[in-house]
Chains A and B, each alone.
Chain A
């Protein structure tokens, strides 16, 4: 799948595939659309409206057992229409997200092992595309989306909207987003946890190159708030494989001092560090009950998203 530039982030093939699969929530979400998703406010604030006779396949948790006792028939309690869920998409726009191994002017900068294909876009561009795809999918199924773009602080915020036409605004904001600062994921997550009132989904798209404990704390805060957290961990293939050879001076993107080394001779050590890092994030997310997906930015978007939605569909109970 060819990845479109910033101003045209909607890949029709991606959208088509995503639209076909649909996006379904695992937890009950308060939302605006009925029939498809479980409400997160199940048994609390929704008012009873009427009974309906039970048919095979209905959720047995809705069976009115009092009425069963009285009538010896099975009836379901019907409530107000289920509220549509809100997907709060958080995109990390820190300096480190600007890295792209195959992007002109950025990488690779040194000789590399030819077996590892570089990413054609930066992590940020990939992230923006992912935001766009997810936004469209969610808006298309008449769910709501809000978008937060942040680095060390929240830079852009698009409030919750269920209007599909707002996708254009989302694109515009994404396109205009050009971060220059270091990241502060943990703080942002905590802020979001404080701001998001309704239960929904929080999708964090970041390279996670920040204090891992604070990130996990932030995720946990969100989880405590009843949010379902999905973490898309973006990593460039060169960050994953470290295929450099020769003598290389590495210059950090976030004002970190330069380091000169012979990459091949420390690769094993680096791979161990990266592996442990990924493992910590993944394990931490799972421990907290978040969904963790490692995304190689060299992988075409539609493949990645298709795989993820299919996986989500399999693992989500109806």
Chain B
């Protein structure tokens, strides 16, 4: 085979010496000569010899050019027999090391990552002289430490030695594809990929794609899969930490839902869970007595935020063999007060007849004397006051039975929500569904759903319908999965407007989870919070811009339902709804490891320097500045490769402000279950599989290396021809 077959066209250059030879015969000096007789005799005596010499030189020159052209075409033989004769060819390699957080699993002596690095370094030692290698750290996305093969193997060794474990999950296909693409750009007789991983099943979630890729490339690229395993029997991890929907208010106990999962095959007992704020001492602790293998237990824990601003709340369990999943952080923003604007579309004659009467008390469930000091402040206006209302003074606006809105109000409201604020819409008998459908759904997609026909009759209260109290998946409604929180189905509805639910595009089934429900692809798609017993939506919400909109099917007062007079349901529902609206902006503060932070901050910090402190590390002073992104001052960070709580200090000295955010690891990565042996068997048909450190890596690699390039001996042969031609030309042209 030829690695550079285009150079074979260079063989046509042998025509050059032939042409020169023919041209030389036409180019000669003229001499008039007297002693021709003796000249003729001499020529006749030497004619044949001269012709032979000319032919020999011509052949040598043609051979030299042909050898050179063939050498440049880089011929190679796939035969180990030849390799011994001409010496081993150099290797173009890519070394891929899995640095997902499952590689942090330890057997008590060494972690999988340390083992993997050792294997990678050994691979480098085994590369022949003149080899080159690239280095990739593989997790759920490839991290190109050395993006193109380098001949500086010392650099490769050093880069691997200094590589760090990440907090990311594993999806090895993209790294494998990247490694193969690098080598496909570099023709060579020996191209090798060394893939060092722990063989976790999670990493092979695109198994079929990996198998296909290895099959297609096995002739040109030799892949060796090195499984660096340590035996880990137990692993329990904090699989979820969320702030319960609701307002996070300074000084008020805030509820956090913590889930702990036992990923191992033996039961876990007496698992102590602690909750801490901003890296401080635990503020709450609890013990889970038993978690069965493969099971998850949920606990509710509480923490108070002492100051206004962002905080990192961390739930932890005792460190085990896989430390990364033993804690999980979430970032929250504590506020001192929340301001709500209630727009009453039908004030009535009596206060109790007001659309917002119950809503106001639900949002301020304290005595009148304490309302002034309560952290939720409500302001009530009528529909006619809307054009002059300053929405920006409030965290959320509630439209209660408002018939319609002026065009300018519509635009202001849409902009208000887009900038990160909240809107709640309660219909009523004055509501003009056609207006809402046209202006707030079709023209500007604020509402999660169009209003359809009314159902029921408020006068026929004996024929009411109820909410469904099961299959509660929305964060606002999950409270009622706990029976002790109350029964949603106890509230009665007499009349409601149909919320026309749109069919959302189904997303792909999660790989490895064929039975998982289809997920919507669009995160801003409307979601159902509550359904009636017949399955139709009773409450829906959607994201709009950076804000959120909640739409109810029935009234905020008791005209169409009795929900407001069921404070056990109504108050927490209103609180959780308000909390969801207020927390919308702050959702960006918690994100999966590997993703980017883009958090809107105030204009007063624009241009200021930022110093980031990753979890467990020293502050990085070269981070950056607060800059404008999409027209707003934004705190941005794209280096969140470790799980845990981060701190961003904006500005310096006394004026410095801190923004805390959290990167959460992929829970699936905690499942250390190994790839199925049958899949290893399948992969071994197109790749070499080595169990490290059990197998002799050196032996395996040496055995798999076949073939040699022949350019060097051909170049030497061309050189010999050149030297020979020079000597012979000189010898032949001597005076004879």
Contact = CB atoms under 8 A, between A and B. Distances in A.
Interface of A: 95-99, 106-111, 123, 207, 209, 236, 239, 244, 246-254, 256, 259-262, 264-270, 273-274, 277
Question: Which 7 A-B residue pairs are closest in the complex by CB-CB distance?
Answer: A110-B29, A247-B28, A109-B31, A96-B34, A252-B36, A99-B34, A273-B38
Interface of B: 24-25, 27-43, 45-46, 50, 53, 732-736
A253 B31 CA distance: 10
A259 to B, nearest CB: 5
A267 B735 contact: yes
A239 B31 CA distance: 12
A94 to B, nearest CB: 9
Contacts of A99: 32-34
Given A269-B736, A273-B41, A108 B50 contact: no
A187 B734 CA distance: 41
Contacts of B50: 261-262, 265-266
A106 to B, nearest CB: 6
B612 to A, nearest CB: 80
A109 B32 contact: yes
B732 A260 contact: no
Given A249-B30, A266-B39, 9 more contacts: A250-B32, A256-B40, A261-B43, A264-B736, A265-B732, A266-B43, A266-B46, A270-B38, A273-B42
Given A266-B43, A269-B42, A248 B28 contact: yes
Contacts of A248: 28-31
Contacts of A111: 29
Contact of B31 (A251, A265, A273): A251
A267 B31 CA distance: 15
Contacts of A252: 32-34, 36
A249 B46 contact: no
A264 B37 CA distance: 17
A207 B36 CA distance: 13
B28 A274 contact: no
A265 B49 CA distance: 10
Contacts of A277: 38
Which of A207, A265, A268 is the most central at the interface, judged by chain B CB atoms within 10 Å of its CB?
A: A265
Contacts of A209: 34-35, 37
Contacts of A109: 29-32
Main secondary structure of the interface of A (DSSP, over half): mixed
B31 A250 contact: yes
A107 B733 CA distance: 23
B41 to A, nearest CB: 5
A109 B34 CA distance: 13
A262 B25 CA distance: 11
A264 B30 contact: no
B28 A264 contact: no
Contact of B43 (A106, A246, A259): A259
Which of B30, B37, B735, B736 is the most central at the interface, judged by chain A CB atoms within 10 Å of its CB?
A: B735
A247 B736 contact: no
A272 to B, nearest CB: 8
A253 B35 CA distance: 9
A214 B28 CA distance: 36
Contacts of A273: 38, 41-42
A18 B676 CA distance: 120
B312 to A, nearest CB: 91
A98 B32 CA distance: 10
Given A267-B735, A268-B736, A249 B29 contact: yes
Nearest to A109: B31
A110 B37 contact: no
A251 B39 CA distance: 11
B43 A253 contact: no
Contact of B45 (A97, A107, A251, A269): A269
B52 to A, nearest CB: 12
Contact of B36 (A97, A244, A250): A250
A106 B33 CA distance: 9
Nearest to B733: A264
Contacts of A207: 34
Contacts of A254: 34, 36
Contacts of A246: 28-29
Given A265-B733, A268-B736, A260 B28 contact: yes
A107 B42 contact: no
Nearest to A240: B35
Which of A123, A260, A269 is the most central at the interface, judged by chain B CB atoms within 10 Å of its CB?
A: A269
19 contacts: A99-B32, A99-B34, A109-B31, A110-B31, A244-B29, A246-B29, A249-B30, A251-B30, A251-B32, A253-B32, A256-B37, A259-B40, A262-B733, A265-B732, A265-B736, A266-B42, A268-B736, A270-B38, A277-B38
Contacts of B32: 99, 106-107, 109, 250-253
Nearest to A108: B31
Contact of A239 (B35, B40, B46, B736): B35
A263 to B, nearest CB: 9
Contact of A247 (B29, B35, B38, B46): B29
Contacts of A259: 36, 39-40, 43
A107 B31 contact: yes
B34 A236 contact: yes
A76 to B, nearest CB: 53
Contacts of B27: 247
A268 to B, nearest CB: 4
Nearest to A99: B34
Contacts of B734: 264-265
A260 B28 CA distance: 8
B735 A264 contact: yes
B242 to A, nearest CB: 95
B98 to A, nearest CB: 72
A266 B40 CA distance: 10
B200 to A, nearest CB: 78
Nearest to A123: B34
B84 to A, nearest CB: 45
B28 A267 contact: no
Nearest to A235: B35
A207 B33 CA distance: 13
Contacts of A260: 28
Given A261-B50, A264-B733, A267-B735, A249 B41 contact: no
Contacts of A268: 735-736
Contacts of B39: 250, 259, 261, 266, 270
A253 B733 contact: no
Contacts of B25: 247
